[in-house]
């Protein structure tokens, strides 16, 4: 009987030891993916990038026109007095918060408040804004959105029935932005009738609000005796040659505490003394 062959025992491969380093890296990768997919993370990155980019732009640009983070706009800081203009679009406003907001030397000194439009529309928030803003220490002015295809005289009567203009207020404002389907001549006739009636009743020369382009196209040369409030956005300064103006609406996207909607931001051309001099006596 042949001898049995010797068989060597099978070699068992040693178990591989788990490497904790690889597990940590995998967990870290999963965490990064989760964070990377998070909308919050993307929002944070985009916001940080936006602020950083704006900082570089400010550094390279006009030092008198820089971004104010809290207001979320660039502001021409060569002007000392700043304000907003509001209507029903801004909803219910917390005026003490508006007044208290400040970044460096920039804060809200004044507000123009929409009162009426055309012959029949009263802004639903006008009475509240007209009452509460002065309580917070903000100087206010009322404005009427003028409809060029309606009688300027009767629009003035309607405006004055709803806006009680008193001493210490800003001058009343005619907001002129559209032709409403009528000729420029008819529009100008109604604007003139509105201004004349308001001035006669308040003993104060009204302000004309309009865009820079609308003024240049339809109003230039016709109302030189009236102070101007011009809208022209995202510029370091308002370059209008020899044209005289009092207020400049330089942004329509400002964030202001106490207001749950973006709002127009304005600068006054003069100092505090000239500001007091234009107020209703």
Q: Which residues are catalytic, by number?
A: 85, 177
In this structure, are strands 263-268 and 65-68 parallel, antiparallel, or unpaired?
unpaired
Gyration radius (Cα) of the chain, Å: 31
| Whole-number Å distance between alpha carbons of 270 and 199 | 23
**Number of H helices and number of E strands within the chain?**
8, 12
Helix (H, G, I), strand (E, B) or coil at 77: coil
Report yes or no: 211 and 252 within 8 Å, Cβ to Cβ: no
Helix (H, G, I), strand (E, B) or coil at 211: strand
Q: In 136-179, which ranges are continuous DSSP H helix?
A: 152-162
| Whole-number Å distance between alpha carbons of 38 and 223 | 56
Backbone φ and ψ for 138, nearest 5 degrees, come out as -105, 130
Backbone φ and ψ for 247, nearest 5 degrees, come out as -125, 145
User: What would the 3-class secondary structure string for 29-44 be?
Assistant: HHHHHHHHCCHHHHHH
DSSP one-letter code for 66: E
């Amino acid at each position: 009987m042949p001898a049995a062959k010797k068989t060597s025992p099978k070699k068992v491969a040693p178990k591989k030891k788990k490497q904790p380093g690889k597990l940590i890296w995998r967990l870290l990768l999963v965490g990064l993916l989760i964070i990377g997919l998070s909308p919050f993370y993307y929002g944070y990155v985009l916001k940080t990038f936006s602020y950083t980019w704006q900082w570089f732009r400010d550094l390279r640009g006009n030092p008198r026109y820089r971004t104010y983070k809290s207001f979320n706009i660039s502001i021409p800081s060569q002007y000392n007095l700043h304000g907003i203009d509001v209507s029903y679009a801004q909803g219910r406003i917390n005026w003490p918060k508006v007044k208290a907001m400040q970044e460096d030397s920039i804060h809200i000194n004044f507000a123009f408040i929409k009162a009426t439009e055309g012959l029949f529309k009263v802004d639903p928030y006008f009475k509240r804004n007209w009452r509460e803003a002065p309580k917070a220490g903000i100087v206010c002015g009322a404005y009427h959105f003028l409809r060029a295809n309606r009688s300027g005289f009767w629009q003035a009567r309607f405006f004055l029935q709803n806006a009680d203009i008193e001493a210490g207020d800003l001058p009343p404002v005619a907001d002129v932005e559209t032709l409403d389907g009528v000729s420029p001549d008819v529009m100008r006739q109604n604007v003139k009738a509105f201004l004349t009636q308001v001035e006669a009743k308040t003993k104060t020369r009204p302000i004309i609000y309009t865009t820079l382009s609308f003024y240049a196209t339809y109003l230039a040369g016709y109302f030189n005796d009236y102070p101007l409030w011009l809208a022209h956005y995202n510029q370091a300064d308002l370059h209008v040659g020899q044209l005289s103006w009092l207020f400049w609406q330089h942004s329509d996207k400002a964030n202001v505490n106490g207001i749950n909607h973006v709002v127009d931001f304005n600068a006054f051309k003069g100092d505090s003394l000239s500001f007091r001099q234009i107020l209703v006596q």
